[in-house]
Copies of this chain bind each other. A is one copy, B any other.
Amino acid sequence: MTIHLTVVNPNTTRSMTDLIEAEARRVAGLDVVVTGRTPTMGPASIESHYDEALAVPGLLEVIRNDTVADAFVLACFGDPGLDAAREVAGRPVIGIAEAAMKTASLLGRSFSVVTTLSRTMGRAWDLTRTYGLERQCAGVHACDIPVLELDDDIDRTNAVILAFAKNALAADGSDAIVLGCAGMAGLPELLSSQLGVPVVDGVAAATVLAEGVVRLGLHPSTHGELAPPPPKPYTGILAPFGT
C-alpha cells in the first residue's frame, strides 16, 4: 500500500513550497509519496489576520482539486482555515501548529514557541487554547524576522533562532522548543543538538502524524459539524467555490 500525502503551502511563494515538500519527504516512511502544492491565489506570505483570512480560498481550492491524497498537511503555523479544510477534504487534514504543539507535548513537560513577527504572538496563544495546550505552552517569543527573509541567510537565521530559543528555555523554564513558522522547516536537527532539548518543526511533525492517521485507517466522521458543507450558489469572483 502506498500512502499519498499532499503538503499544502497556504502562501503563493513557490520556494517555500519546495522547502516544505523536501522536509516532509525527509521524515516520511518508505511507502509514502509526498507532493507539495502552491495555491493559485492569495498572499505571498502570511503575517497578519488579513493575510491568513485571504490565504484560505487558495488552500481550499487546492484541497478540493486533489483527489489523490490520503491526507493533507496544512503548512502555515496559523493553521488557517483548518475547520473549513476538514469539511471539504473528507480526508484527514493536519495543521502544522496543532501537530507541532501536540508532538512537543509528548516529549517534555512544557514548550516555548519561537515565531517570526510579534504581531502573530496573539494568534499563537489562541491556537494553544484551541488545542488545549495553553498550560503546556510556557511562552511565545518573536524573533521579528519576516517570513520571506528566513532563508536569505540560513546561518544567520539559525543563530538568531538559537539565541531566542536559549533565552526562551531559561525564561520560561520549559524543556522543548516549537518552531512557529513553516519557513523554519529544516532547522530543527541542528538546533536540537545545539540546545539539548527537542526542537519540533510543524511540517515534519504534521507529516508523520498524517502518515500515522492514514496507517490507522481512520477517516473523519461523515456527519456532524465537519460533514461536507451544504451546497449553495456563490457570487462574483468566488463563484467557482459554489456547489
- Given A29-B29, A87-B49, A106-B98, A58–B238 Cβ distance below 8 Å? yes
Cross-chain contact A48 with B229 (CB below 8 angstroms): yes
A227 and B48 CA atoms in complex are apart in Å by: 9
Cross-chain contact A238 with B41 (CB below 8 angstroms): yes
- Given A12-B236, A224-B119, A208–B198 Cβ distance below 8 Å? no
Scan A48-92; emit 1 where CB is below 8 A from any B CB, else 0.
Answer: 111111101110100000000000000000000101101110001
Cross-chain contact B219 with A198 (CB below 8 angstroms): yes
- Measured between beta carbons, the chain B residues less than 8 angstroms from A218 are 103, 107, 192, 198-200
Q: Does A113 contact B (CB under 8 A)?
A: no
Q: Does A183 contact B (CB under 8 A)?
A: no
**Chain B residue with Cβ nearest A46:** B232
- Given A42-B236, A48-B229, A218-B103, A109–B87 Cβ distance below 8 Å? no
Cross-chain contact B208 with A40 (CB below 8 angstroms): no
User: Which residues of chain A (142-199) have a CB below 8 Å from chain B?
Assistant: 146, 173-176, 188-189, 192, 196-199
A208 and B29 CA atoms in complex are apart in Å by: 11
Q: Does A211 contact B (CB under 8 A)?
A: yes
Cross-chain contact B200 with A106 (CB below 8 angstroms): no
Scan A190-228; emit 1 where CB is below 8 A from any B CB, else 0.
Answer: 001000111110001100110111011111111111110
Tell me the minimal C-beta distance from A10 to chain B in angstroms. 12
Q: Does A47 contact B (CB under 8 A)?
A: yes
Closest CB pairs A-B (n = 6): A132-B132, A41-B236, A208-B212, A48-B229, A175-B224, A175-B221
